[in-house]
Structure 1
Amino acid sequence: MPNAYSRARKAHDNNQEGIRLQKLLAQAGFGSRRKCEQMITDGRVEVDGELVTELGTRVDPTHQQIRVDGSRVRISNKHITLALNKPRKVLSAMDDPKGRYTLRDIVGDKYERIFHMGRLDYDSEGLILMTNDGELSQHVMHPKYEVEKTYIATLEGRISGTVCRRLVTTGVQLDDGWIKLDRCAIIDATHDTTIVKVVLHSGKNRIVRRIFGSIGFPVKRLVRTQIGPIKLGDLKSGSYRVLSQTEVRSLSKEVGL
C-alpha cells in the first residue's frame, strides 16, 4: 500500500495532477514561494501524516490533508470567515419574524450560506465571527475547545479588586451551576461606575451580565473585543471585514483543526 509520500511523488513524476506544494502554501498565506520552499526542506510540512521534504511535490488539497508544524492547511475558495462588530439593538440572527435589525442587514446576501458562530445578546455589542465553513463553526462553538472570549464591561457601582479576584478563584453560583471567570482586571472606576476587562471561555447565554448581576453590579454596557486569537481591533460598529488566511489558520489551530 503506497504511503502519502509515494502518492505525492507519483503525482509529481506524472506532472499531470495536483498543485506544487510550495505554491499551495504560498496561496494559503504562509509567505513567499521561497519561504515556503524553505519550510518544506526544513521538514515542517506533512502530507497525509507523512513528512515531505522534496521540492516540486504535487498535492491535491481536496483529497489530501496538508499540515505545517502540525496545523492543518485549509484551502477553499468557497469558505469565507468574517469578523463583524455588532452594534446594540441588533439581533444575533440572520432573520427575525418581528422585523428587528439582524446580522443579515449588515452583511447582506453577498456570501452564500454564511452564519454566525455564537451570539451576543440584543443589548450587547462587539465581535461576532461568521462563516460558511461548517466544520470550523462546530469547533469554535463546541465547549470542548474552550475558546476564550474577552469583554469590556461597564458596571453599576464600584467593584473592588478583591471581588474581581474572587470571581476568578471561587466564582459564583448561578441557576445553572457554578461559573468562574478566567481573568478579571479593573480598567477604570469612578464613585458609581467600574470598567472591567474579563476573559472567560463559557458560551452560556448572557453569562457576563448574569455573573455581575448576581453579586449586585449590573452591567450597563458590554463589548466583546476578542474571540480566541481574533481581535475586534478598530473595526467600526456595524461593519465587518474578511479574516485573512493567517487569522483563519490561527483560529483553526486554536480549535484543533
Structure 2
Amino acid sequence: MPHIYSQARKQYENDGEGIRLQKLLAQAGFGSRRKCEEMITDGRVEVDGELVTELGTRVDPKHQQVRVDGSRIRLNPRHITLALNKPRKVLSTMDDPKGRYTLRDIVGDKYDRIFHMGRLDYDSEGLILMTNDGELSQHVMHPKYEVEKTYIATLEGHMSGTVCRRLIRTGVQLDDGWIKLDHCSIIDSNREQTIVKVVLHSGRNRIVRRIFGAIGFPVKRLVRTQIGPIKLGDLKSGSYRILSQTEVRALSKEVGL
C-alpha cells in the first residue's frame, strides 16, 4: 500500500521546478489534462512509491519514478525508442568490418548510443526495435519475458492447415529442442507456395526458417510484422519512426517495467 505523498517531497515543487503531474501524464498518452487530473484525484498515480492525489504536484521525470495503476511511466527525455523496417541484405548490427549495409546506414548517427533489441537474419525483413534505454533493452531481450513476435512467411510448396495445427499442438523437434508455434494460419496457398502468419515467443536464432525447413517447407521470404504490442504497420522498407509514449508504455508493461 503506497504512502500519501509526503510534505518533504513537496520541496522540489515549491521551488517552481519540474513539470505538473497531470501535464506529464497527458504527454505520456493517458488522455486530456482533465482525464489525467481525474486519474490523480482517483488515487491511481504514485510518485516514488507514494500516492499522489493533489493536483498541481510537480515532478522531475529524469529523477523521479511515476506509476499509473502500478505500471511505470518511462519519460526520460534522453531516451529514444525506434521501430525500423529492415530490408533484406541488411545486417542486424551497427557496424560491419566488411563494409556491408547495416542498421547504422539507415538511422545514421543522430541518436547517441542507440542499439537494436534483437535481430533478424540477413535475408529476413521487417520490424526491429532500437533504443538507447538500457533497462528497456535488457528486459525486451531477456528470455524471461518471452515477448511475442509475429511473422508472415512465404513457404515453398503447398502446406495444409493440418500441418499448421500440428505445429501449434505438438510442435517440431530441432537440434536445440522442441518448439511449438503459438499461432499458425494460412493466408494464401497454391501448388508452388504457401503464405502463413505465425506467432511465437522464442528468440532462438533463425527459428521460423528452421521450423518450416525441418518439415519440408523452406522459407522463401520472411517478414516480421509485430513485436509485443508494437506493429510494423505501413512503415516503408529501409525507414524508421520514433515510438509514441503510449507505445513505449505498452512495451514497457509487456516486459515487466
Q: TM-score, normalised by structure 2?
A: 0.95
SS of match in other structure, 1:113: coil
Q: How far apart in 2 are the matches of 1:4 and 1:153?
A: 52
Deviates more, 1:14-23 or 1:78-87: 14-23
1:214 aligns with 2:214: yes
CA offsets, 1:72-125, max 9 Å, x none? 011111111110000000000101111110000011111111110000000000
Q: How far apart in 2 are the matches of 1:4 and 1:43?
A: 10
Q: How far apart in 2 are the matches of 1:224 and 1:240?
A: 14
Partner in structure 2 of residue 154 of structure 1: 154
2:62, 2:77 within 8 Å by CA — same for their partners in 1? no
1:58 aligns with 2:55: no
SS of match in other structure, 1:249: helix
Partner in structure 2 of residue 72 of structure 1: 72
Q: How far apart in 2 are the matches of 1:212 and 1:27?
A: 44
Aligned residues: 255
1:100-111 correspondence to structure 2 within 5 Å: 100-111=100-111
Q: How far apart in 1 are the matches of 2:238 and 2:46?
A: 41
Q: Give the Å deviation of 1:212.
A: 0.3
Q: How far apart in 2 are the matches of 1:71 and 1:29?
A: 14
Q: Give the Å deviation of 1:44.
A: 1.4
1:170 aligns with 2:170: yes
SS of match in other structure, 1:136: helix
1:9, 1:58 within 8 Å by CA — same for their partners in 2? no
Q: How far apart in 2 are the matches of 1:240 and 1:9?
A: 40
2:13, 2:59 within 8 Å by CA — same for their partners in 1? no
Q: How far apart in 1 are the matches of 2:197 and 2:72?
A: 32
Structure 2 gaps, min length 5? none
1:154, 1:195 within 8 Å by CA — same for their partners in 2? yes
SS of match in other structure, 1:144: coil
Deviates more, 1:209-218 or 1:5-14: 5-14
Partner in structure 2 of residue 37 of structure 1: 37
Q: Give the Å deviation of 1:4.
A: 6.0
Q: How far apart in 1 are the matches of 2:130 and 2:4?
A: 34
2:30, 2:36 within 8 Å by CA — same for their partners in 1? yes
User: Percent sequence identity over matched residues?
Assistant: 87
166 and 41 in structure 1: CA distance in 2 versus 1, 3 angstrom threshold: same
Q: How far apart in 2 are the matches of 1:14 and 1:223?
A: 52
Partner in structure 2 of residue 141 of structure 1: 141
1:8, 1:57 within 8 Å by CA — same for their partners in 2? no
Q: TM-score, normalised by structure 1?
A: 0.95
1:81, 1:242 within 8 Å by CA — same for their partners in 2? yes
1:225 aligns with 2:205: no
SS of match in other structure, 1:221: strand
Partner in structure 2 of residue 85 of structure 1: 85
Q: How far apart in 2 are the matches of 1:31 and 1:133?
A: 24
41 and 99 in structure 1: CA distance in 2 versus 1, 3 angstrom threshold: same
Q: How far apart in 1 are the matches of 2:158 and 2:88?
A: 24
Structure 1 gaps, min length 5? none
Q: What value does the CA root-mean-square deviation take over the aligned residues?
A: 1.5
Q: Give the Å deviation of 1:27.
A: 2.5
Partner in structure 1 of residue 196 of structure 2: 196
158 and 239 in structure 1: CA distance in 2 versus 1, 3 angstrom threshold: same
CA offsets, 1:37-83, max 9 Å, x none? 11111221112223211111222333322111221011111111110
Q: How far apart in 2 are the matches of 1:53 and 1:29?
A: 19
